Amino acid sequence: MTALDPDKEIPRHIAIIMDGNGRWAAARDLPRREGHRAGAESVEDVLRACGDLGVDYLTLYAFSSENWKRPESEIDALMGLLAHFLQEKTPTLMKNNIRLRVIGHLERLPERNRRQVRESIERTAANDGLTLVVALSYGSREEIVDAARALMRKAKAGVLDPEDLDGATFAEHLHTAGIPDPDLLVRTSGECRVSNFLLWQISYAEIVISEVLWPDFRREHLEAAIAEYQRRHRRFGGL
């Protein structure tokens, strides 16, 4: 057991790159979709743990803009899982005062999934406990280009003077507008890449790589990542 330090802060915002579902399935001679299914159980466990620990925001990289290149059967399985998760779990989100937000290009999802996501967002909108941010058809470079385009339109329309543009204004045009930057970024399965996830927002995040494959990732592994975060001294570029 890794003990959390009661005198040190719990990260307010944790972002997770859930990786290793495919390898987990391959090691058991199972189809990849079974890895994703098992991964959905980890999502539940981690969500519960974040609620208990008093984390304010949990952002999960569920489907990247690059994931559309995967075989259709795997995409269908992932979309099906997501739809199932939202249908089954929205009452649990309500009971636990969890608000759902989505970042990414939701409009690229099949209509059925889009509807389900929108319904869950609307139903949970007034909850003020943990915010679960799910990245769906999300890519950080696209998000930054989207923000640049929106800002250029405003400049062209004369409602924004380019000289007035600063980091805070730029951040307000990202999909994560209003969400504080992650304090801790966790990637599972031992991979040490950022994979086009929250490039702007993780500027000062502590990065913890867990060797555990996502379907095996549980509260104890999250607590180990938080304990590592607590051991580090965050300086934000100062002394």
Query: Per the structure block, which two tokens stand in for 24?
Result: 């987990």
- If binding is defined by CB under 6 A, does position 139 make contact with ligand FPP? no
Shortest distance in whole angstroms from residue 233 CB to ligand FPP: 31
Active site residue 19: yes
H or E stretch at 184: strand 184-187
Where b means 16+ CB within 10 Å and e means fewer, 125-161 reads eebeebbbbbbbbbbbeebbeebeeebeebeeeeebe
Separation of alpha carbons 202 and 188, rounded Å = 16
**C-beta of 112 vs 232, nearer to ligand FPP:** 112
Q: Give the one residue of 10, 14, 15, 43 binding ligand FPP; rule: CB under 6 A.
A: 43
Binding mask 74-93 for ligand FPP (x = CB under 6 A): -------xx--x--------
Length of the chain measured in residues: 239
Report which of 133, 141, 155, 124 is spatially closest to residue 199, judged by C-alpha positions.
141
- If binding is defined by CB under 6 A, does position 36 make contact with ligand FPP? yes
Half-sphere exposure for 105 (CA within 13 Å, toward CB): 15
- If binding is defined by CB under 6 A, does position 109 make contact with ligand FPP? no
Helix axes 32-53, 72-95, angle to 10 degrees: 20
Q: Is 101 helix (H, G, I), strand (E, B) or coil?
A: strand
**C-beta of 38 vs 208, nearer to ligand FPP:** 38
**C-beta of 82 vs 226, nearer to ligand FPP:** 82
Q: Give the one residue of 21, 90, 116, 230 binding ligand FPP; rule: CB under 6 A.
A: 21
- If binding is defined by CB under 6 A, does position 196 make contact with ligand FPP? no
Annotated catalytic residue within 56, 67, 96, 216: 67
**C-beta of 62 vs 212, nearer to ligand FPP:** 62
Active site residue 21: no
Q: Which residues bind ligand FPP (CB under 6 A)?
A: 18-23, 36, 39-40, 43, 60, 62, 67, 81-82, 85, 134
**Catalytic site positions:** 19, 67
